[in-house]
Chain A
């Protein structure tokens, strides 16, 4: 103890020099919200693979049908049911079906149609869902009460029933199918947008904007909608694989597009008839369908984690 006391010289008690400037320097480059989202997204391997697969399938859907000399409805009765594994000259990379139509062309063309239907359905979902949810959440009170009662009834109606009934009623085509799928899908979107709006209404920046005299239109477009973007994008990402599934499902039970039109569902349905003899006719479209749904699910999961880390499960 005594020894230590000697070693303590008074200069040890001089106040240290504090560089007040140093506290102000930013150690790391500042990340904007979207840069942060991108960083989190790119770290998620599954999501990136999903995105790449979607881009690849999307590109194949556009360019695939043009890669060989056939088109999707051209029949060739000298080349029926050619398996891609038979060594026959020609460019039927995925083989042909029972009418001699080239399955490579039909698969990619069909994937394109399936994607198109899913995108139209997602766009309708987005429009109706966001508008309905925003109105309900923003105005609140009586309006909200009534709009929510309607939603509660609609939620109870099984979408399977609505989609099937609508398609018996409408003529099957790309737009009617998308419409039928979207008519049951927007409810989910509306609920999420409404919940976000309600939550946001009580926050300070909204109050601040209102105090500064922002009108309803400005409030909605400049302050609230940009802030619901995250959950909306996430919901949309799960709407798309759902729509792809329903299109295939409808094709399977005979309410989808009519051959010679092709979509993944139609192709799988046609393939089933001969599954036990020519399994490749089901294999290719079913693989593309599964990959597509898998990719969108992975992408959706990745985006959810990236856009809203709190929601991470």
Chain B
């Protein structure tokens, strides 16, 4: 287990380094400087600003400094917002995004597991057919289309829930719901497949044969085994939720990280883009790492097989 964790950890560090390097050189090879359009800045002041941001240093020096700061969690200062610390700004936006993501994930997983299990147990019933349709739709209909539907019907036509802003729980319902559809779709499909597979296993028959009741067999023996492979999709789901949050936060006007990122892209705030990119990458790579380890813990077969096979 120790070797497995260390190996994954090394991959994680290499991945992050590749992303950091790529981001740095892409951003620095962009034509023009962020100050280009501001003609009114007198040359002395411009010089001072460039000095302050370390833009006069040769590129390798800047690169090393960037990596050094990164390791210490310092993402530099924003160009647009008067040199405010990007780390501080991200920490302001993060709680809203995290709340949205977590709510969508928890709700999605609960509904997904329930639907998937019932579908597998009652194959061909209306629940099964309904959840198949739901999961196909969940895959196909992008979260921003759903968000538009929700915000128009529930928010504008029925006027039940607020469509913009952030603060109360009511504000978070519609965006979380739009995000959770994909989670529901994927988890339902996965749990159903795995559950069907498990239900056909011999140990299920054995459990029934030795006199356990149906409920115990399904929950203790069936569902527990069916859920193990479902852990693997939590990683990709986190990625999908983050992608979705960029758009959903925009639609519902939520001052989270996704909103910040899109804002920095639109205003060409390069240092901010770099900072958020690194933060996102860290978050995603970390979540995939955790899922890998978790899977290794739950299913020992994974860490015993080397990737060469």
Interface residue ranges, A against B (CB under 8 Å): 46, 145, 148, 152-153, 156-162, 164-166, 168-169, 241, 245, 248-249, 252-255, 268, 271-272, 275-276, 279, 282, 286, 289-290, 293-294, 297-298, 313
Q: Is the interface of A mostly helix, strand, loop or mixed?
A: helix
Q: Are B277 and A164 in contact (CB under 8 A)?
A: yes
Could you say which of B61-69, B139-147, B218-226 contacts chain A?
B139-147
Task: Pick from B140, B148, B247: contact of A253, CB below 8 A.
Answer: B247
A-B contact number at CB 8 A: 111
Contact A148 B307 (CB under 8 A): yes
Q: Does B207 contact A (CB under 8 A)?
A: no
Give the segment of B18-26, B45-53, B84-92, B296-304 that binds chain A. Answer: B18-26
Evaluate whether A156 and B239 lie within 8 angstroms (CB atoms) in the complex, with A253-B250, A290-B145 already known: no
Contact between chains at A293 and B148 (CB < 8 Å): no
B11–A158 CB distance below 8 A? no
Choose from A145, A153, A255 the contact partner of B11 (Cβ within 8 Å): A153
A168 contacts B273, CB within 8 Å?
yes
Q: Quick check: B11 and A156 within 8 Å, CB to CB?
A: yes
Residues of B within 8 A of A (CB): 11-12, 14-15, 18-19, 22-23, 26-27, 29-30, 136-137, 139-142, 144-145, 148, 151-152, 156, 163, 193, 239, 242-243, 246-247, 250-251, 262, 265-266, 273, 277, 280-281, 284-285, 288, 307-308
Q: Which residues of A contact B251 (CB under 8 A)?
A: 272
Complex partner residue of A297 from B139, B163, B308, CB under 8 angstroms: B139
Chain A, residue nearest B153 (CB): A279
Given contacts A157-B18, A290-B140, 4 further A-B contacts (CB under 8 A): A169-B26, A249-B247, A275-B151, A294-B141
Contact present for A268 and B145 (CB under 8 Å): yes
B26 touches A165 (CB 8 A): yes
Chain B residues whose C-beta falls within 8 Å of the C-beta of A254 in the assembled complex: 262, 265-266
Nearest B-chain residue to A169, judged by Cβ: B26
SS class, residues of chain B in contact with chain A: helix
- Asked whether B26 lies within 8 Å of A297 as measured between CB atoms, the reply is no
Residue contact B239 to A160, C-beta cutoff 8 Å: yes
Q: Closest Cβ of chain A: how far from B74's Cβ, in Å?
A: 20
The 24 sampled A-B contact pairs (Cβ below 8 Å) are: A156-B11, A157-B281, A160-B239, A160-B280, A161-B19, A161-B23, A161-B277, A165-B22, A165-B23, A165-B26, A165-B277, A168-B26, A168-B27, A241-B140, A249-B243, A272-B148, A275-B152, A276-B163, A279-B152, A289-B142, A290-B142, A293-B142, A294-B140, A294-B141
Contact status of A153 and B15, CB under 8 A, knowing A165-B277, A279-B152, A286-B148: yes
Contacts of B136 in A (CB 8 A): 46, 294, 297-298
**Residue of A164, A252, A294 touching B144 (CB-CB under 8 A):** A252
In the complex, residue of chain A having the shortest beta-carbon distance to the beta carbon of B283 = A158
For the complex, give the distance between the alpha carbons of A53 and B307 in Å: 41
Complex CA gap A268/B148 in Å reads 10
Q: Please state if B281 and A161 are interface contacts (CB–CB under 8 Å).
A: yes
From residue A284, how far is it (CB to closest CB) to chain B in Å?
Answer: 12
Q: What are the residues of chain B within 8 A of A313 when measuring CB–CB?
A: 193
A312 to chain B, nearest CB (A): 10
Inter-chain contacts of B308 with A (CB < 8 A) = 145
Chain B min CB distance to A56 (Å): 16
The answer for the CA separation of A158 and B239 in the assembled complex, in Å, is 7
Name the residue on B nearest A298 (C-beta): B136
A157 touches B19 (CB 8 A): yes
Chain A residues with Cβ below 8 Å from B11 are: 152-153, 156
A153 — which chain B residues lie within 8 A by C-beta?
11, 14-15, 18
Q: In the assembly, what is the distance between CA of A253 and CA of B18, in Å?
A: 25
Asked if B14 and A168 make an inter-chain contact with CB atoms under 8 angstroms apart, the answer reads: no
> In the complex, which of the residues B141, B156, B281, B307 contacts A293, with contact meaning CB atoms closer than 8 Å?
B141
Taking CB atoms, residues of chain B closer than 8 Å to A298 are: 136
Residues of B within 8 A of A157 (CB): 15, 18-19, 281
* Inter-chain contacts of B281 with A (CB < 8 A): 157-158, 161
> Quick one: given A156-B288, A158-B284, A279-B152, are A255 and B265 in contact (CB under 8 Å)?
yes
Interchain CB contact under 8 A, A156 and B151: no
Find out whether the CB atom of B243 lies under 8 angstroms from the CB atom of A160: yes
Given A161-B277, A275-B148, A293 contacting B285 (CB threshold 8 A): no
Query: Given A289-B142, A293-B140, A294-B136, A169 and B148 touching (CB < 8 A)?
Result: no
Known A161-B277, A297-B140: A253·B151 in contact at CB below 8 Å? no
Query: Once the chains are docked, how many angstroms separate the CA of A289 from the CA of B142?
Result: 9
Give Cα distance in the complex from A252 to B147, angstroms: 13
